Each structure stands twice: as C-alpha cells, then as structure tokens.
Structure 1
Amino acid sequence: MEPRVNERMNRDLIRPVSDAEIKKAVKAIKSDSTPGVDGMTGQFFQNFWSIVGPQVTQEVRRFFEDGYLPPDWNYTELCLIPKVPNPNMMKDLRPISLCSVVYKIVSNILCDRLKLVLPHIISPTQGAFVAGRLISDNLLIAHEMIHGLRTNPVCKSDFIAIKTDMSKAYDRVEWDFLESLFLRLGFHQRWVSWIMLCVRSVSNSVLLNGQSFGHFTPQRGIRQGDPLSPFLFILCAEALVHTMEQAERSGSISGMKLAPQCPAVQHLLFADDSFFLCRATLAECAEFLRRLKLYGDSSGQMINFQKSAITFGAGIDPVNRRVLAEFLNIEKEGGDGKYLGLPECFNGSKRELLAFIGENMSKRLRGWFAKKLSYGGKEVLLKSVAMALPVYAMSCFRLTKHHCQKIMSAMASFWWDEDGEKKKIHWISWKKLCISKENGGLGFRDIEDFNQALLAKQAWRLLNDPDSLIARIYKGRYFASSSFMECGKGYRPSYAWRSILFGRELLSKGLIRSVGNGRDTFVWSQQWIMDDCPRRPINKQRDFDVNQRVSSLIGEDGQWDIEKLQYFFPENEVLRIRQIQLGPTEDRDIRAYSANGAYTVKSGYKLATKHKETEEVQSMSLRPGVLELKRRIWKVKTVPKIRSFLWRASSGALAVAERLNTRGLNLDTRCRICLSGSESISHVLFVCSKAQEAWALAGFQDLSHLHTLPLTEALSTCLNMMEDVSLLVTQRRDIPWYLWTIWKNRNSLLYADTQESLLNQVQQASEEARLWHVLNDQQDVHSVLRGLNEETQKWEPHIFGYAKCNLHANWRNASLHSGLAYIIRDQSGNVLHHARDAIIFSPNRFTAELRCLVWALQSMKDLGYQDVIIASDYRDVISAVKKPKEWPLFRAQLQEIRNLHTSFRSVAFETELISSNQIAREIATSVLRDGRLQSYLALGGPAWLHNRILRESI
C-alpha cells in the first residue's frame, strides 16, 4: 500500500492544539448524553466553561504535548443494549461505551482533524463517515448493479453480486494491524501515537441494572460510543479495499461495467456492510474468498456467511447457481431483499415493495395515540419525527400516489383523531394543512411534493459533483454523449434513474447560468441575470448575434469590458452585470433561489408548492382579515397548544353545533348552556353567558362590542387587546389562556362528569400564564447573559509560531465602496502588520468578505508568512472556505483561495466572535466613515487604536 497522507496533511494533523479548538470540541459533545464514570455530561462543561475551562484546557494540552493520557480518562463503563426483543446470548447485546467527557474532548479534536483528511485518502467506494458522501450513493449504485444483473445482456450472464456482513466488526479490530495500517498510509508517527494511546489505554467494567461489575482491559477492538471509532473502522476497511483493487488490477477479480463508458464496480462499502461483484466463475469466487481470508487474518475481521446473500445474473443457469452458492458457503439468495434498508431491485409491484414505508408510519403513529397529546404536541411529533421516517426512502425512490396518500391519510388521522379507534371529523383537508403557516396553513409537508424535492437533491448532486462515483456511473449508463439536464430515460432504465428524472423536473425550474469565463453561456438565449427570478439580459440594440457568448463581453484582463456592456445594455443592466464576479472557472448551472447557489430541499419544496400556496392566498383574500389573523396567531406569546387552538378557532375547526351541521349532522344549533342563540365558535367564546362570566371574572367587564363582530374580527380584537398598554400587563398577557379556559369549560359542562368552579378555572389560567411567562423570561435573561458574555470576550491568543490574521469587510450596498481591513498579531497579541483597502461593486456582504479574505491571503503570502490562522466573524465565509462545493455561486473566488492556500506551510480558518474581532472591524469601518479610500499597509497597529490593542494583548 502506497502512502496517501502527504506532508501538508501531516502538518495539519499534528499542529499544536489551540484554545479555540478545545472549546469547539467541548461544544460538539451532546449536552444530554449519558454520563460516563465521571458522572458528568457535556452540558455541565459547556455551561461552566468559564470556571472549568482553564484547567481542562491545560490537561488536554498535556495530552497533545507530552502524550500523556491519565488512566481514569479512558476507564469506560459498558452499557449492554439488546439487539433483539428477548436476548439470551452475548451476541444479542450491543456494548456501548460510556466515555468520560474529558476523553471525548480529546477524541473530538482528533476527529475534527481527521475528517479534513479522509476525503483525500479513503476510497470512493466507501460511503460511510466521509464528508460529502451519502448512504444513498451506495444504495443507488447497488440498485443499478442489481438492475444490470437482471437486464444487461452481458452482465446478466457473467456476473454475480455478494452482499456480506462483518460479525462483531468493531470488537474484532486488531490493534497491531491498525497501527501498521496507519503507518503504511503515511500518517506521522506522532499522530499514530496519539491514536494508539486512545485505543490501547482502555479499561472497562460492565453496567448491569445500573451497577458496575468487573474490571478488565481489552486486547483488541474499538469502542462503540467513542467518537473516534467510526473513522478508525473505515480506515481499517481500506486494507480490504486495497487487496480487492490489487485483485482487479491483476485481473483475478473483475469489476462489473454497465456500459463501455462506465467505471467498473467491484466492491461497495458502507462501514461494515459490504457489496461485492465478480464474474460467475469458480476461479474468481476462489480468489474472492482468499482475499477475504487475507484481510480477516490480518485485521481480525470475520464474515458472517449466515447473514450474507448472493445475487445471480438472470442468465446464469440453475446448476451453476447451486455450484457457486455451495462453493461460497452462502445459502441465502438475494436480489429480492433489502440493501441498506431499502429494496435492492424493483422487479415486482412497486406498491408491494414500498408498502413497508406506509406500514411503519401507521405503526409509529398508532403507538403515539396512547400519549394523549395536545395539538401542539402532535404538531411537533408529526414534523420532527413522523416526517423523518420516510425521508431516506423518498430521497432514493419516487413513491407511488397510493403510498403518498396512505402516508398523508395516516398523518391526518393522527392529527384529528383522539385515538386509533374513535374517528373524528377532519375539519380541514390535509392538503390545506400542508400550506405554510405564513399563508394560513400549518406547515406540514405534502408527501408527493416533498418526495420530488428530495429527489431533486439527488439530481443536483449529479449536476454539481460530476466526478463522484455515482455521477460517473449514471453518465456512462444513461448520458454518455449528452448532458444530465438534456438526457432522456435511456434503454430499460432502473426505477432509481426514473425517480431521479422526476426530481430533475423540479430542479430545472430553478436553475440559472453562473458565468465564470463566459465561454459556454449564450448572451441572448440563456438565463444568467437574476432579479426576482432568472432571466435573459435586456438588449438596447435592434440587431444582435443570437450565438454571441458572454466571453465576448470580457476583456483580456479577465474583467468586464465596460464599453461593450454600455453598447449592448441599458445603464441599470450594466450595473447589475458588473456585480457578477468573473473567474477562470467554467460556466455552469447553479441554483437561482439560494444565497450560495446550491440546491436545498427547503428551497426546492418551496418552489414545488408555490402554485398551491398562491392559490390558497388568493382564496383567503376573499375573506378579509383571515390570513393576517392567522399570521398574527403564530406570534402570540403562549403555549403551542393554545396557539393551535386559536388557529383552529380562526379556521372554523372546532366542533360546535353550527359547524357540525355543515358536516351533515342534523342538530339543534341552540347553545345548550345558555339556551339563547345559535352555538357558533364566536358565541362560545364571547356571547354565551358562561363566556361573559369568565371574561368578567378575568377583569374584562364590558366586551359587548365583540358580540356582534364576525369571529375573525373578534379574535383580532383580542390580539389587539394584548398590545393595549391601557390594560394591566397581567390582564393582556393572560388573554390566550382565558380563551382556552372558556373552551375547556364549555366542553366540561357538556361532556364531563364533574365540573370545577369557573372562578377557580380563571384563576388557574392566570397562574399558568404567570408561570409560563416567568420561565420564558428566565430563558430570555439567560440568553441575554450569554450574549453579554460573548460581547465581552476579547481577542484570544493562538498557537505558538503562528501568525493570526483577523479580517473584516464593512459592506453597505452593492453600488458603493466597501471597506476592507486585516490585522496580523503573534501569539502574545503584538501587532505585526495591519492594512486597509476599499473596493466597489460587491453585490452583498458575503462577496465583500470573500474579496477581503483573498486580499489578506495574497498580502500574507507577499509578506512571507508561512504558518497562519485566518479569523473572521462572518461564519458563512469560513464555512464556504472549508466546504467549497456547498457554495457553487462563489466557486471562482473559492478556487482562488484554494490556490493561495498552497502558498503557505500551514493555514487554519477559524470563526471569531464579533467582540474578539473588534479591532479589524474598527479599521474596516473607518474606511467609509472617514473617507480613507486609499489602500495602505503598515508595520504594527494603528496609533488611534493603540490602547485597545494593548488591553487585548494583556
């Protein structure tokens, strides 16, 4: 195995640990995770970091500087989690390690550094725990391969697929093998020593019924529960990848190609789930088993053949199937089962193959009926839990209308019904509940539109990352001679491909051409200008060349040719075009309706439902005040169940006599409490004698003006009263609780066996309101205090030997100058250099910040700095630099930053608090405030900020 970790990677891995890095690792620990032997949770360290932070930081630094890990840090209690309903053997239990918080801090720091290296050293056939790779990639590739075994004339006669499972994969990893593998991959000896110290210093006891038993020291294995373990395991699996690739290069195990232009696929890994392809010959099967044994003998891994399955090409005869299955010792035949949780192949009824999605949803919802939840609780569960259940399947395959309807029906029943047996009236259709809250609905998801938005994400990944393995496979199979956005279904397409094309329909509606060098964009026929929506530019000339490209408008210096722009376009259009940042990159399609040019499911869903939302708003415009009332309801300061009640009241979704009669029930509409007047929602809340009594007890003596108002106006008046400063604070804040109490009292009088006095109910409502506001005010105070704490944090020192550059761009609007500034300090806070500059035509703050970053890096390169830390208080800029694929709109600037990155020995990018970036902000602000538009660079800091800089360095 050749080394894969280069010198730059190793420098970043073993660089001194900073205080900011330690603090970030602490914040990454789940606040409510089960405590280990230390009895502490992450929340304790996060909340009291100002107290415990200095000591913890010192101890963590000791690990990285001296290689010392106290034994009690890695003493771990094992919690045994059942894998089956009634476990009776140890193999039926999963040991989860409850690590100490301090160890997790060390582990998280190692993980954060390792994550940056993994995409460059892990094989593209490994889909787990690597940034930018998804489980759906492996699933879709495997689905395409199984489809090929059934339909491809060559593959179905020559190939087989083998799905394997590793037995106790984490527990069997040999430590000596892991260390040797790290060294062979090229990791620095110091890094390897840190990792192996974390692995080898483990000692365990077992938790049984809450008590700790035994004490033993393992000799192999990595722990489930250690943040580092998943990354160690996929690195271990690289040995298997290496030996399989060796076999493919030698020709002893063939990979399967779906088309001549397709890459061959021989194996796919997702952690311990493996999927292999080889020719249906005894020779290749024997070599496959030999390679597995070689890997197992070295690493300690063992294949569980009882859980493995073999899928034969459709053209392989039964005799050969039996011979190969016996030779491989695999009894189970695949193809009709599941891989990574979803069907391997759609060779039958899609309704039957995907039926488990609706069944799982219905089963989960039935279990929730026993909780007797309020509408507020139901809303949370439906949005955060129920909607998450089918997301994985909907991200890969298009659900049939039958499945969509079944899922939505189950969710609607859960929303309206009290339990699984008693059916209630569905006052409002589920389609209308799926309208956003902003437009009068409840913001639930329409399953079909959500399905398309998720599939559009898959389409976007093929468009945005054409070099990924899945994109290369699909291109070779379906659009070898055309582009993804222009291709058709192809010959005998798989169901996954047809599903992605369904997503492409939505994706195509929101694309715009992003100009780089302008060579692949037509000026007059393509949309490359963005206003409210993508459009073509406005032409002020009658005669023009239809085939003219945008590159013809760019000068030799790579910038816009102003004279040509002014010749072809009106002045306003020229200003808009000049804001487009050019670069040496190729033109490409990006997402128009997002700030970073990347497609998101949220923006796609919004576009998919835009027509329905518009129709609903238009229908509500026929009922004046209803939409505005519903929007105001969601801003009312009260508990979620009362907001939900107010929304249902405003929507006519309460079971009063008048509303029941509209559903075909022939009822006497007279109010059964006061026997005077028809029982409407307005009557129950404002007119009925009991309602008037409740309002009087609450201190509202005269609400007679509400009696004649329509319900919408009456509720709006109540919300206005909450803002009426002439009323007592307690009166106006309690109004939502009084409305809720009146409704509960009505139901109690009509249907309950016992009744509580109305006075007690009103007093209880007021007390509940008081307690709720007290608790929320306390949370607000804590938030303010946290904010004040952050505002008072000053500039923090950094790693010895590094220069820290704080930068800032002061942007006002697109047509004016923006002020740029940076200040470079050493680890003691002494200013080495500072500079300022002014730029024009930055369309937004993000672009200005990026230009500031490029300018600062270029300056530091010219000044000869080698080890640098770049700090900005604009989080999005740092995120874009670290994850450039997620910001395609700014790919030219990000590419320039990557090019400059290589000029330094070591570069780290950090997000800074605003309070600790004040000096850079002051210098940048002075550019526009004081008219200092000239560029300058100076040694030391500005004299007018000397005292503030001195205070920060102390």
Structure 2
Amino acid sequence: MVKEENTDVKWRFTGFYGSPYAQNKTESRGRWRHLKLKFEAWWTIEETVEETIKKSWNSNSGTIVEKLGKLQVDLKEWASSIKKGKEGLKKKLTEELEVLLEKERTDDTLAKIIDTRVQLNMEIDRDEIYWEQRARANWLKVGDKNSVFFHNYALARKKMNMISRLEVRGGRLTSEESEISEEATSFFQEMFMSRRVGDLSHILSGIKECISSDINDSLVATFTAEEVFVALKEMGPTKARGPDGFPTLFFQRYWHIVGGDVVNFCLGILNDDQSFGKLNSTDIVLIPKVKNPINLANFRPISLCMILYKIVAKTVANRLQRVIGKCIDEAQSAFVPGRLISDNVLLAYEMLHTFRRKRTGTKGFMAVKVDMSKAYDRVEWDFLKEVMLKMGFGKKWVDLILKCITTTSFAVNINGKRGRTFNATRGLRQGDPLSPFLFLLCSEGLSALMRMVLKEGLLKGAKASRGGPELMHLLFADDCILFGEATREGANLLKGILKEYERCSGQCVNFDKSIIFYSSNTTEEHRGAVAAVLGMRNSTNMKQYLSLPSVVGRRKKDSFQVLKEKILFRIKGWSNRFLSQGGKEVFIKSVLQAIPTYAMTCFLLPNSFCREIEQLMSRFWWQKAHGKKGIHWCQWKDLCQSKEQGGMGFRDMAKFNMALLTKQGWRLMNNPDSLVARVFKAKYFPKENFLNSRLKINCSFTWKSIWAAKGILIDGLCWKVGSGKDISVLNDVWIPDLQMLRLSHHVNNFSDFKVAELIEANSREWKIEVIESTFPAAIAAKIVCIPLAKAAHDDLLAWRGESTGEFTVRSAYTLLQNNETDPTAYALHNVYREFYRRL
C-alpha cells in the first residue's frame, strides 16, 4: 500500500516484484525508488500534458496539498500511457525516414518526409531534455542536439554522488544502505539539536538598533500576488526538486492553471498567519567534497526544500535584501547589495602586504584566519531571534522568519532513498533562499564583540597605512579573518571573543584548520605565545583567501598556475569528446573563459599567461574527435571578433582582464565611502583622486593591477555638466560626440577656464554669444545642445560607453576591442616602465 507522504489523498495499492537474490538487491531498491512521481521537464513539450494538469487541478476543490496529491496520481497514469506509446518510436521514425529518403521525390513523399522529420526531432528533443535535466550541465543551454553528451554527463554525475560505503561509529566501514542511512540521519539529527545558548546580554549590548519604524512598516506591509510571482520567476526552473517531486519549472510553465491556488497559499502564510503544514519538509542530500569520501565530514549537506516553501521564503528574502545593508558591518561583503567578494580579496591582500612590509616598530600584529565548522547547521534560533529584535526588527517580522525556519522537518536522502524523518531545534538550510541573509545577521554577533573591544581600547586593530581605517576583522559569509596586536593579552582577548561567540550563536571554531599570520616585526617569543593561547598553528603564508592567492611574488605565472590546471582538467574531461562544434563554442564561452574571470577582477595576469590560456582554448576549438590535432584555420584574435565581423565572439583574455580591473577603478571613484575605497585612498592617493594617482614605491600587486587600468577609465569618462565649476573647458572631456575628445585639440589661442563661465548663473542657460564667438561653429552647436538642469548641481563623471552613464565591463571590453592602440600598452611591464621613468 502506498500513500504520498505530504498529501491527504486516499491510500492506493501498488504491486512490486523484487529479485529474490541478494546480489540484485541494489537494482530492486533502485526500481522501488522510481515509483514516486518526479515531474519531468520533457513532459512540457507533450501536447496532452497541459490538458491533464488542467483537468486534474480543476476537478478537486480541496487544499493545494490535496490538489498536488491528486495531480501526482493523474500524472503518473498519464506518463505511463505516454511511455507505452513512445517505446521504440525514435528507432521506428529513423528507419521510416531512411526509407522515405530513398524513394522518388513526389509531393506526397516530401510531405511525409517533412512530417516524419518533425516527429523525429520532437523525440530527439525529448531525449535531450530528459538527460539534460539529470546532467545539470547548466552551462550548455544551446548549441547541441547531443543527448549522448548529457547521457554520459548524467551517468558520471550519478556515479560521483553515489554513496556505496560509509564509516559508521566505531570506525567500521559498511556498505549496507540501511546502516548508511541511519548513520547519516543520526549525525544530522544531532547536528541540528540545540545546545542551549549562553547569556546573551553582553553580546547583544554591542549590536546597534538600525531598523527604524518606517522600515519595519515596509517589511510587514501586506504582501501582494505580484511579489509572489516575481519570487517564482527569479528561481531556477530545473533546480533540484523537493520531496514532492515538482520542480520550479512546473509552477512557472503552468502558472495560468495553478497560480491562483499558489498565490492564495503563499499569501495565507505571509499575511494571515496560516501554517505550512507538511509543505515545509526537506530532503538533505550529500555532495562529496573529496574523491571517494567515506566519512560524513567529507560531504556537503544541501537541503532540497519544497518549491511552495521556497516561493514563500524567496518573497520574504526579497524584502529583507532591500534593508540588509543597514544591519551588516562594513567588514562583511557577502550577499549585501553594493558589496562584492572582490572587496574582501583586495582588503585582505592589502593588509597582508602591509604585514610583510612592516619590519619596524615594537608591536607586531596578527591575522587569524578562522575556520568555522558546519557554520549554517549550528546557528541557534534563540540567538538569531534576539539579534533581530535588538536590531529593531518588529515582532511580526521576526515571527514570520522564525515560522519559515523552525517548522521544517528533515529526512536524509541516500542514493535516492529517504531515511526516517526528524525535527530540528537549530540550524539554517543550505538551499533555503533566506539562509544567506539570516547567517549574516548571526555573524553580526562576532562583529559586535570585535567593535566593543576596539571601542573600549582593549585591543587595537591593524591598518594598511598610517592614516587608514583600523580593521578588526573581515568576513565573507563564514570565511573570517581577525586582526589584532600579536601579544599574549591580544590573543587572550581574541580567544575570549571566539568562545563567547561560540557559546551564544552555536558556531564551532575548528582550531586545527585555523592559522595565524604575523607582521614581519613580530618576535618569535610573541608568535609562540599567541599560538599557545589560541591553540592554532603559525603560518608564514596564508596561501589562499576566498580561493585566490594571498601572496603574489616575482614569479607571477606560478601564482596563477592553478587556473591553467583547471582549464586543462575541464578540457581533458572525457565527456567533452561528445560535444559538437556548437557545443564546444558554448563550453569555451560558459566554462573555460569563466574559470580565470574571478582572479581577473583583482589581479592583472601576465600577458604571456593570458596567451597560454588562449592557446589551450584554441587547440580545443580546432581539435578533431578523440583529441586529434586539427588545422588552425585562423588566429585566436580573429575568433575573438564578433560574429557580425566574421569571428566567434570569444574573449581576448588580456583585454577582458583590463575591462574587469577598470570596474575596480570605477568603484573606487563612485563608492568613496566604502571600506575598500577608504583603505586604498589612505594608502595610495590620500591627497588626490584616483584619476590623478601615481604609483609609489613598494605598492601592492593589487594596486598595480587596478592602476594599470586607469588609462582605460580616463578614455571612457565624460563629464555631465552641472554647475560647471569642476570642468576644464580645454582639458576635460565634456562635449558628447566630439571625435577629438578634448578641446585642447581644437582650440589653441587662449588660456584654459571652467565651463561655469559659459553658463548664465541665474537663468541656467548657455551664453550663446560667448560660445559662438569662441569655438568653431560645429563645436559651438554641440555645446548649446547639452541640457542644463534648472537648479545647479555638482558636476558628475559618467561612462560614455553606456547611455545610462553607468560603467559596465561589456562596454569597457568593447572600447578595448575597438581601440587601435596596441593592447600590450596596458600590460604589467609597462606599468613598471612608467613607474621607473618617474624616479
């Protein structure tokens, strides 16, 4: 007898015959698992499925749970009938088409050929979608009619994620699926069990109230159907399904049928305090972090939530995201609008560069890289609640969030089979749209403790320069670096902070994986004392922070060699031999070229290294089947031209690197109050702006990289006239559509002055007579066409590559592509050449 777990439909009988032989038990269990309905993406191209869904949905006037339950039954019957009709159809159509192609071409024969080809293409599409859904090769959206690739990719993925053996308590290895399931269930049941938080009064005293009554009113304002629909649209259509078997794609495609009930269900929870019922159950699947894992610590738990729950959580998260920046310390860069992961990379690199250069002074400093163990799983709900209330979030909003995270039930899914269900009393789910933002609120406890010891003068932070901001810590989600004086007293303070944070929030520091890095002037005595107090190991090289090198030495290519190795690994992947030329194009653009992009946002890769990467891609593009060398019919630079110009639209990696670094310069200019901008300004251009900055002795590699892109930024900027007081008539770019951008190229017979002198202050209109008597007629006509605001405002620098005036990497790359200047003009050796020329 079978009954869908999360439905109220009647029991139904399902017969199953399994092999009586023990050696076939795995196959029998696998067949049993697949009896549960899983909505297939290829069903959406079947003409009859929509009518089946509509008929089933409208025939039931019960709750949405009952409707989904009945729909599962009806779709299973429909799928069974469809499957019978499709067995052998692809082979049959292929044979029919071959016969038709050999016949004499008559009008009747041509009509049959066309009809047969249409049917065969539909079968191929169905096959491709089926395997694509299982392969989860998200990069390959277009380019291949290649079910062979998807088939092999899916099988490899399934094999990699299969758990065939596991180490249970006592150190014994087992291959019994029931033992593996019970061991995993017990492990996570214990992980998600609250340990009771300590006294919160001290840590809460350091958290500022940052949410006003107006913000609270906006958060708890009545939710609308439009917000629910927007949340659904923002979700990936074929992401992993929850326990009910329905993916996001089902609700997106058939919204016109199910949308009304979905909206009523979601708004009932969001506005009317209704409960989730059984629709907040969650499957935990285990993704291996290493090859051949045998211990549960070697797996990453991912939560597969019901889609209906995720719609509710995403709707709440969208509102929370709008205000999260007001609550989170500037040292935290993750998931906050306007902040990037590159901010933390740049800050950490600058701090460690200063540490390495600091050889004088009586006091040394330490940077403690802290490893948090199972950070999301250990978050205490009581602590999270009190933090939100202390920040000023209203009780109604806090209760709504707690309803989302505390009403869930869990079951560990091992090789497709759900284990027993259990409830949790703490923890956040990786896979819940709310979890990233809630973890940031939790991590504010650590920020509060660090701010308090700084304010009380108990511990000094570290500075990248004498007049720069004092940094106590850097956070990116659960990645954490703490800064302080490298003394026994400083170490005791940091240890006390970490212990209190553990006690209150539930977090657990992995001291074995945490390391300490010191400034060069720290004595061996102090290093030993600090390590002894903290119980961590000392290190002379942090190696990596957020997966990028924390030190780049003279041999720069060696520092980035891992990028080349990743590209080679992906190229040599056995599945890629099944790609067609169209698939190769997408693979290069979406996978290979994406690998170095993250590093390129912070570092100027050597020009020769970029060429080596391009050579790897070029060889892959031209090679024949089974890795045989092919003829290179044109150069890589020709392939980098747009398709309109006869190329393939691949990237010139050196130019793209420069475009990404130009964005960092733009952000330094336009976000001067950000932490990263204040640190760089204090260290490298304290008395001038970024555009007028110069290279200094012993500057960091990150600054050299950003500074190298300054010329591109200057070429692409144009002043938007406000008051005109800051704009030089001759030496600044301020007239749109002028081929020679600066007037100094056109006018040489008078001295420079400001644009404000060309504007009538009272009427805010151009002085037409002055302009026409001063400039050539064509230029004067362009000037008087520049619109002026009725009220004077500050002059603004805009990016002329976009109509909005906002910088984009795409437009900067286009500027470089169209620039006739030698692309090596921005290479790193020229940065050094410019520096030494001024010595």
Same-fold call, TM cutoff 0.5: yes
Asked if structure 1 preserves the Cα contact closer than 8 Å seen for 2:305 and 2:432, the reply is yes
Structure 1 CA distance, aligned partners of 2:483 and 2:303? 35
Shift of 1:206: 1.4
Structure 1 CA distance, aligned partners of 2:417 and 2:291? 22
Structure 2 counterpart of 1:77? 283
Does 2:324 correspond to 1:324? no
Structure 2 CA distance, aligned partners of 1:111 and 1:123? 19
What TM-score results when the alignment is normalised by the length of structure 2? 0.70
Asked if structure 2 preserves the Cα contact closer than 8 Å seen for 1:161 and 1:275, the reply is yes
Structure 2 counterpart of 1:404? 610
Q: Cα deviation per residue 1:677-717 (whole Å; 9 max; x = unaligned)?
A: xxxxxxxxxxxxxxxxxxxxxxxxxxxxxxxxxxxxxxxxx
Structure 2 CA distance, aligned partners of 1:340 and 1:155? 30
Structure 1 counterpart of 2:515? 309
What secondary structure does 2:516 align onto? strand
Structure 1 counterpart of 2:598? 392
Instruction: Map 1:289-308; keep pairs closer than 5 Å.
Output: 289-308=495-514
Shift of 1:534: 7.0
Structure 2 counterpart of 1:456? 662
What secondary structure does 1:521 align onto? coil
What secondary structure does 1:95 align onto? strand
Does 2:144 correspond to 1:144? no
Structure 1 pair 387–142 and aligned structure 2 pair: CA distance change class (3 A): same
What secondary structure does 2:466 align onto? coil
Shift of 1:578: 4.3
Instruction: Map 1:256-295; keep pairs closer than 5 Å.
Output: 256-295=462-501
Aligned residue identity for 1:494: S
Aligned residue identity for 2:586: V
Unaligned runs of 5+ in 1: 616-954
Does 2:191 correspond to 1:24? no
Shift of 1:111: 1.0
Does 2:253 correspond to 1:47? yes
Query: Which of residues 798, 817, 831 is equivalent to 1:590?
Result: 798
Structure 1 CA distance, aligned partners of 2:385 and 2:792? 43
Asked if structure 1 preserves the Cα contact closer than 8 Å seen for 2:731 and 2:744, the reply is no
Structure 2 counterpart of 1:495? 701
Structure 1 pair 52–562 and aligned structure 2 pair: CA distance change class (3 A): farther
What secondary structure does 1:214 align onto? coil
Aligned residue identity for 1:125: A
Asked if structure 2 preserves the Cα contact closer than 8 Å seen for 1:146 and 1:335, the reply is no
Structure 1 counterpart of 2:426? 220
Structure 2 counterpart of 1:580? 787
What secondary structure does 1:117 align onto? helix
Shift of 1:584: 4.6
Structure 1 pair 563–45 and aligned structure 2 pair: CA distance change class (3 A): farther
What secondary structure does 1:161 align onto? strand
What secondary structure does 1:535 align onto? coil
Structure 2 CA distance, aligned partners of 1:425 and 1:541? 54
Does 2:274 correspond to 1:68? yes
Structure 1 CA distance, aligned partners of 2:363 and 2:698? 17
Shift of 1:289: 0.8
Query: Which stretch of the first structure deviates more once superposed, 543-552 or 73-82?
Result: 543-552
Q: Cα deviation per residue 1:504-529 (whole Å; 9 max; x = unaligned)?
A: 12222211112222221122332101
Asked if structure 1 preserves the Cα contact closer than 8 Å seen for 2:445 and 2:501, the reply is yes
Does 2:402 correspond to 1:196? yes
Asked if structure 2 preserves the Cα contact closer than 8 Å seen for 1:37 and 1:75, the reply is yes
Does 2:331 correspond to 1:125? yes
Structure 2 counterpart of 1:432? 638
Structure 2 CA distance, aligned partners of 1:373 and 1:613? 37
Aligned residue identity for 1:331: R
Structure 2 counterpart of 1:889? none
Shift of 1:246: 0.8
Query: Which of residues 808, 812, 815 is equivalent to 1:607?
Result: 815
Asked if structure 2 preserves the Cα contact closer than 8 Å seen for 1:517 and 1:551, the reply is no
Shift of 1:479: 0.3
Structure 1 pair 13–562 and aligned structure 2 pair: CA distance change class (3 A): farther
Structure 1 CA distance, aligned partners of 2:697 and 2:242? 57
Query: Which stretch of the first structure deviates more once superposed, 580-589 or 292-301?
Result: 580-589
Shift of 1:388: 0.4
Structure 1 pair 540–240 and aligned structure 2 pair: CA distance change class (3 A): closer
Structure 2 CA distance, aligned partners of 1:519 and 1:197? 56
Structure 2 CA distance, aligned partners of 1:323 and 1:53? 63
Aligned residue identity for 1:592: R
Instruction: Map 1:770-781; keep pairs closer than 5 Å.
Output: none
Shift of 1:369: 6.6
Structure 2 counterpart of 1:799? none
Aligned residue identity for 2:815: L
Shift of 1:199: 1.1
Shift of 1:77: 1.3
Instruction: Map 1:931-950; keep pairs closer than 5 Å.
Output: none
Aligned residue identity for 2:407: S
Shift of 1:402: 3.0
Shift of 1:601: 1.3
CA-atom RMSD in angstroms = 2.4
Structure 1 pair 224–559 and aligned structure 2 pair: CA distance change class (3 A): farther
Instruction: Map 1:504-583; keep pairs closer than 5 Å.
Output: 504-531=710-737, 533=739, 535-536=741-742, 546-550=752-756, 553-556=759-762, 558=764, 560=766, 570=777, 573-574=780-781, 577-582=784-789
Percent of pairs identical after alignment?
38
Structure 2 counterpart of 1:846? none
Instruction: Map 1:780-799; keep pairs closer than 5 Å.
Output: none
Structure 1 CA distance, aligned partners of 2:765 and 2:221? 39
Does 2:483 correspond to 1:483? no
Query: Which of residues 208, 213, 237 is equivalent to 2:443?
Result: 237
Structure 1 pair 356–57 and aligned structure 2 pair: CA distance change class (3 A): same
What secondary structure does 1:149 align onto? helix
Asked if structure 2 preserves the Cα contact closer than 8 Å seen for 1:149 and 1:156, the reply is no
Aligned residue identity for 1:65: N
Structure 2 CA distance, aligned partners of 1:104 and 1:566? 63
Structure 2 CA distance, aligned partners of 1:140 and 1:468? 12
Structure 1 pair 614–339 and aligned structure 2 pair: CA distance change class (3 A): closer
Instruction: Map 1:840-859; keep pairs closer than 5 Å.
Output: none
Structure 2 counterpart of 1:897? none
Q: Cα deviation per residue 1:804-858 (whole Å; 9 max; x = unaligned)?
A: xxxxxxxxxxxxxxxxxxxxxxxxxxxxxxxxxxxxxxxxxxxxxxxxxxxxxxx
Query: Which of residues 522, 543, 546 is equivalent to 1:337?
Result: 543
Asked if structure 2 preserves the Cα contact closer than 8 Å seen for 1:309 and 1:334, the reply is no
Structure 1 pair 506–571 and aligned structure 2 pair: CA distance change class (3 A): closer
Structure 2 counterpart of 1:57? 263
Query: Which of residues 412, 430, 443 is equivalent to 1:206?
Result: 412
Structure 1 pair 268–92 and aligned structure 2 pair: CA distance change class (3 A): same
Q: Cα deviation per residue 1:549-605 (whole Å; 9 max; x = unaligned)?
A: 326514235555666656656588456544434355422322111111122111111
Structure 2 CA distance, aligned partners of 1:538 and 1:404? 37
Shift of 1:421: 5.2
Structure 1 pair 366–239 and aligned structure 2 pair: CA distance change class (3 A): same
Asked if structure 2 preserves the Cα contact closer than 8 Å seen for 1:539 and 1:568, the reply is no
Structure 2 CA distance, aligned partners of 1:540 and 1:457? 31
Structure 2 CA distance, aligned partners of 1:276 and 1:420? 50
Structure 2 counterpart of 1:113? 319
Structure 1 pair 445–506 and aligned structure 2 pair: CA distance change class (3 A): same
Unaligned runs of 5+ in 2: 1-206, 824-839
Shift of 1:532: 5.9
Asked if structure 2 preserves the Cα contact closer than 8 Å seen for 1:172 and 1:221, the reply is yes
State how many pairs are aligned: 615
What secondary structure does 1:197 align onto? helix
Q: Cα deviation per residue 1:115-137 (whole Å; 9 max; x = unaligned)?
A: 11012221111010011111111
Asked if structure 1 preserves the Cα contact closer than 8 Å seen for 2:367 and 2:518, the reply is yes
Structure 1 pair 70–456 and aligned structure 2 pair: CA distance change class (3 A): same
Aligned residue identity for 1:212: R
Structure 1 counterpart of 2:585? 379
Shift of 1:69: 2.2
Query: Which stretch of the first structure deviates more once superposed, 553-562 or 192-201?
Result: 553-562
